[in-house]
Amino acid sequence: MAEMISNNDAEKYLRDNLPYASKIDESTFEKFEIPENICNWIRTHWSKSETPYGIVYEKPENFTLSTQEPYLPKPVLRRASAVEPLPDFSTDINWRIGENMDAVNTQALNVLKTEGAASAFEFMTTDPETGRQLDYGEIRARYG
């Protein structure tokens, strides 16, 4: 016996999964893995037309979904923080990366290895000749 589906169930499914669909063809049922009971409900309640591309079901003009927005989960944002410990630069990093660096980058790498991340940051953001703070463009020009 065929499973009965109410208008409310079909409306909820369409609102949550296909909120902007006004036409659906048979291949869409398969492509989006729409449950068979929802497909049958659409076949019964929407207008059917045959096109050169296959059968298309069109939402009736008087059919409106409730105004509730579709549910979209909030993305999880992560930031680096003091909670996550920095690696031990003397042992945790393969230092062979310094073999092909220019002189300025090699100096910054040596400061990182010997004095740590805070000192390396200070070294890379300060002009060695004048002691002034470098801006973002100057840092990128020196260190890439």
What pLDDT does residue 65 have? 56
Which has the closest alpha carbon to 23: 48, 56, 63?
Answer: 56
65: Cβ contacts below 8 Å, ≥ 6 apart: 11, 14, 15, 19
- When mean pLDDT is compared across 42-56, 73-87, 109-123, 127-141, the lowest value belongs to 73-87
**In this predicted model, which residue has the larger pLDDT, 141 or 99?**
141
Average pLDDT over the chain reads: 77
| Residue 138 structure tokens | 């100057």
| Residue 39 structure tokens | 């497909």
Q: Where are the domains of the chain?
A: 7-58, 95-143
What pLDDT does residue 8 have? 64
What pLDDT does residue 1 have? 38
What pLDDT does residue 74 have? 64
Q: Residues 72-103: pLDDT tens digits?
A: 666 666 555 555 566 666 565 665 666 677 88
| Residue 42 structure tokens | 């659409």
